[in-house]
Structure 1
Amino acid sequence: MLDIVIDTRQAVITPGFSVKRILPFQLRRMVGPFIFMDHAGPVSVPATTNLDVMPHPHIGLSTVSYLLDGNVTHRDSLGVEQLIKPGEVNWMTAGKGISHSERFEDPNILSAGGLEMIQTWVALPEKDEESDPDFKNYAADELPIFTDKGVWMRLIAGDAYGLKSEVKTSSPLFYLHVELETEARFGIPTGHSERGVYIVKGSLEVNGVSYPAGKLLVFSKGVDPLIIAKEKTTLMMLGGEHLGDRYIWWNFVSSRKERIEQAKEDWKQGRILLPPSDNQEFVPLPEDKSKPAGGPEPGALS
């Protein structure tokens, strides 16, 4: 059966740039190790609009940037500069601390409605929360593809349907991009204790009930429903094994509340370095209005 259906909420990333926020949700903060999920776009704004996300910090998680359309330039405090393109996996592990920026440097893409991106955060196991930061780009042709009648699927990370991705992860999980033609039938991955299906475009029927785009369907363990596409539909499927509760505040995730407080001070004091090729501006620490770590994050960035 369905455990919960989560509707997207609007979240402002920078002035003029809003996204659909999916996770965390008050009644369901995580699905497997996935603790955060945003859906940006399709974006269509005047070419003069600046949607850049300035350098900002992370700890205790991996960010996963996956583009459906357009491109974005990633720069981080390790010195990595990477143009992110559709179908690639960009896996940045923050560990004990990293900063990065996301710059939209092709204004023609934004004005033509050609940017669409899914951003997720994957919590790290406690033993890896203080690991050294890392960034890895995986080209689209490095990722497993599966096709069947009316079905196209890319395994972004983890294992599902007998396939295994070479993307390095820290815990058991799966993450999939799925395209379904009208009336195509599909199942959700088995072998994982927590599983979710986010409807990017189109609509699904599950157990006789229709669900439109903008909903995350979270399924109970052991339930293996048949999914029927009611029209041409794009899905992101994700889940895995639960790692235990996590605190989240702004861009910081940790199993320890005091570690969140340390990260706040580290950013204020400049102990988390800026990207060497993008160090002229940064996002300041938001004002803390006594909102406890673990509550809804104030305008998280990925």
Structure 2
Amino acid sequence: MQRREFIKGSAILGLTAIGTPAIVGASGMFHGTSQRRIHRILSADRVNVGTLPVLRAFAGNQQDYVSPYVLFDEFGPVHVNPGADPLRVDAHPHAGVTPTTYFLEGTGHHKDSLNYDFQIGKGDFMMFSSGKGAIHMEESGQELYEKGGDYHGFQIWLNTPAMYKFDDPSTTVFRYADMDMINNDQYNARVVLGELYGAKSGIATQSPAFYYHIKLKPDGRIDIPTDPTHNAFVYSIKGTLEVEEARQLKKNQVALYERGDSIIQLYSQQGAEFLVLGGQPLNEPVYSYGPFVMNNEDQIRRCIADYRSGKMGDPDAVNR
């Protein structure tokens, strides 16, 4: 049996006093002693999932810096012509993980073994909480097939805490009203998960997590407060961000931050669009075998057996 094993490492957390911020050199950034330090900047890799082009920032690795998240894919942007075959990922199982899907442009079609079959679109956020196991199919939606247009968004997996790994699966779609907004002269921010400056998401998670979609205006800056014991990372969708120590975060790059400090400081001269995510690290072993994310090899073997025996559903029925 082939598998990938990723064990959560330890990190030393420090306490830092909040100091008076100061301008760094000739940049637009403020610098304070509570600013988070960057561990590493990574560039997303191009892969195909089914017939869907994807940019993958991480998949199972980097857990000491991204947990409770476990995989990060940006699908598209790709233009779909009217009447073209849908971009599609055929029916496949998941267990022990919650794939989330967030649409920036276009529409999608989701069908699963839980008897859900629906269209989702721009601004929608879906959580496929796979628990002990379920099957789903994903493809570009009916509106794109009829009218054409751009298809763009994110599928980002939240790892499921050990105590919930074998719960019953569920599928939930959230709309604009479930996600709060912040609008000011520096930026617009949608709080998909968590809370930012009093704006709160109405979406519950199994462990503390945050997920912000932010658009900085030209010459705009934002200081994002975080729990120093939580992980945090930033992914650039469009434009260039100035991050810690005046480093540049370019399109399709992700900055992984160290723990121990609070504030993530971001600035853009020309304007930028990006995601900021993170949360409480699970501090649990992670065993990943394809779409199954568990805590040990015996659980992986159980998932494989359950899928093969039909306990997760019928992939042929989901594909129809």
Distance between the aligned counterparts of 1:236 and 1:109, measured in 2? 28
Higher mean C-alpha deviation, range 25-34 or range 244-253 = 25-34
Aligned partner of 2:75 in structure 1 is 40
- Aligned to 1:175, which of 206, 211, 215? 211
Aligned partner of 2:8 in structure 1 is none
Does structure 2 conserve the Cα–Cα contact (< 8 Å) formed by 1:197 and 1:218?
yes
Does structure 2 conserve the Cα–Cα contact (< 8 Å) formed by 1:44 and 1:111?
no
Distance between the aligned counterparts of 2:262 and 2:146, measured in 1? 40
- Show structure 1 runs of 5+ residues with no match: 281-302
Q: Give structure 1 regions of 4+ aligned residues with deviation exceeding 6 angstroms.
A: none
Deviation of 1:110 (Å): 9.8
Higher mean C-alpha deviation, range 79-88 or range 177-186 = 79-88
Deviation of 1:229 (Å): 1.4
Aligned partner of 1:128 in structure 2 is 164
| 1:214 paired to 2:252 | yes
- Show structure 2 runs of 5+ residues with no match: 1-36
Root mean square deviation of aligned Cα: 2.2
| 1:263 paired to 2:273 | no
Higher mean C-alpha deviation, range 93-102 or range 40-49 = 40-49
| 1:201 paired to 2:241 | no
- Aligned to 1:140, which of 157, 163, 176? 176
- Matches of residues 183-198 of structure 1 in structure 2 within 5 Å? 183-191=219-227, 193-198=230-235
Distance between the aligned counterparts of 1:110 and 1:260, measured in 2? 41
- Aligned to 1:31, which of 43, 66, 75? 66
Structure whose alpha-carbon radius of gyration is higher: 2
SS in 2 for 1:87: coil
Deviation of 1:35 (Å): 0.4
Q: Classify 1:266/1:30 alpha carbon distance in 2 versus 1 (closer, same or farther; 3 Å).
A: farther
Deviation of 1:158 (Å): 2.1
Deviation of 1:182 (Å): 1.4
Aligned partner of 1:238 in structure 2 is 277
| 1:4 paired to 2:43 | no
SS in 1 for 2:87: coil
Counterpart code for 2:201: S
Q: Classify 1:189/1:248 alpha carbon distance in 2 versus 1 (closer, same or farther; 3 Å).
A: farther
Q: Classify 1:29/1:14 alpha carbon distance in 2 versus 1 (closer, same or farther; 3 Å).
A: farther
Q: TM-score, normalised on structure 1? A: 0.85
Distance between the aligned counterparts of 1:144 and 1:189, measured in 2? 17
Q: TM-score, normalised on structure 2? A: 0.81
SS in 2 for 1:263: helix
Distance between the aligned counterparts of 1:212 and 1:117, measured in 2? 18
Deviation of 1:164 (Å): 2.4
Distance between the aligned counterparts of 1:33 and 1:229, measured in 2? 28
Aligned length: 279
